[in-house]
Copies of this chain bind each other. A is one copy, B any other.
Amino acid sequence: MVDSRFISALAAAALAIGAAAQSKTMAEVLAASKPSDWRPLDPANTLYLELDTGRVIMELAPQFAPQLVANLKTLVHEKYFDGLAIMRAQDNYVVQWGDADEKRPLGAAKVKVPAEFDRPAEGLAFTALPDADAYAPQTGFVDGFPAARDMKTDRAWLTHCYGMVGAGRDNSVDSGNGSQLYAIIGHAPRQLDRNITVIGRIVQGMELLAIMPRGTGNLGFYEKPEQRTPIRSVRLATDVPEAERSKLEVIRTDTQTFTDLIEARRNRQDDWYKVPAGHIEVCNVPITVRAAGK
C-alpha cells in the first residue's frame, strides 16, 4: 500500500516549489529584470514642466488622444505655458495649471478639439489584469499607461489613476484644448473616466505637484494670484538640448517581468505582510521608472 502521507508530502513539496517560483518581492523582480524589460521615454512624447522646485516629467499618450496631444504640442512650441501658473489644488483630487485669466492667445492651436474620451479597443496591445475592477469590465495596461476596455462595445480608455494628466474642459465635450491641464493627486477619481480627454501621465516629479498648498476657493482654486505656483516653462524633450534631457526608462507593461511585478504586489512576500490581498486594482500597480542605463 502506498503511504498516503508520503504522497501528501510530495504534493506539498511540489506546491511549495511552485509557489516559490512565483513568490518574489517587487525588489527581487526588479533586480532580476533584463534591459529588454525597459523602454526609454520617447523624447517626441515627453514634456518637461519646469518649476522653481524642479522638473516634472510627463509622458504623452497620442495613441489615446492624437488630436489633443497634437494641439498641446502646438501650444508648447509656442511657449504658451511659460510664465503661467498652477492655479488650483483641490485636496484628494487634482492640481491644475494653465492661464488662470484665460487671456493668453492660443496662437496656431485650436480652441476646440473633439472629445477623445475613449477609442476603439481593437488595434491596442492591451495587457489585461485578471482582477475584477469596480468601474470597468476589464482593466490593464497599454504602452505603460493604466487603461480599461469594454470588449462588448470595442472601446478602450485611460483610467484616472494617481499621476494621470488630462485636459480640463467646460461642459461642452470639445472645450478641452490642452491650455489647462490637471494631474490626479489623490484617490483615483474613476468617475472621470470616459468623461474627459486623458493625455498622459506624470512619470517623475509627482512629489513636486502633490504638495501644492490646497486652494481655499471653490474647487480648490487659489483666491489670490500670489498663491499660485509659477511655471518657468513647458518644453517637449526634443526641443531641449540633449545634455539637458532627463534620461529615463519605463518598465514595459507587456512583459513577463511586469506580470511578475504585479503578482509581487498582489500577494506580498515581504515579511511585514500577514494576509496577502490576493487581488490588485489597476491604480495600485506601480509603473516603475528609473534612470536610463541602470
| A interface list, Cβ under 8 A from B | 91-92, 117, 131-135, 161-163, 170-171, 173, 185-191, 193-195, 206-207, 210-214, 265, 268, 271-277, 279-281, 283-284
Contacts and interface: CB of A to CB of B under 8 A. Distances in A.
A189 B286 CA distance: 11
A189 B193 CA distance: 20
A92 B164 CA distance: 13
A178 B135 CA distance: 35
A193 B161 CA distance: 20
Contacts of A214: 207, 210-211
B135 A190 contact: no
A193 B277 contact: yes
A195 B170 CA distance: 43
26 contacts: A132-B132, A134-B280, A134-B281, A135-B277, A135-B281, A161-B187, A162-B187, A170-B272, A171-B272, A186-B186, A187-B187, A187-B283, A187-B284, A188-B284, A190-B281, A191-B268, A193-B275, A194-B274, A194-B275, A195-B272, A195-B273, A207-B214, A210-B214, A211-B212, A211-B213, A211-B214
Given A161-B187, A191-B265, A194-B274, 12 more contacts: A117-B275, A132-B134, A134-B281, A135-B277, A135-B281, A162-B186, A171-B271, A185-B210, A189-B284, A190-B277, A207-B213, A211-B212
A140 B133 CA distance: 16
Contacts of A117: 274-275
How many of these chains are in the complex? 2
Contacts of A188: 187, 284
A131, A133, A265, A284: residue with the most chain B Cβ atoms closer than 10 Å:
A284
A289 to B, nearest CB: 13
Contact of A273 (B191, B210, B273, B284): B191
Given A132-B134, A134-B133, A274 B189 contact: no
A277 B117 CA distance: 13
A28 B176 CA distance: 27
Contacts of A275: 117, 193-195
A156 to B, nearest CB: 14
A162 B283 CA distance: 14
A117, A185, A271: residue with the most chain B Cβ atoms closer than 10 Å:
A185
Contacts of A207: 91, 213-214
A191 B91 contact: no
A284 B189 CA distance: 7
A133, A189, A277, A283: residue with the most chain B Cβ atoms closer than 10 Å:
A277
A222 B195 CA distance: 39
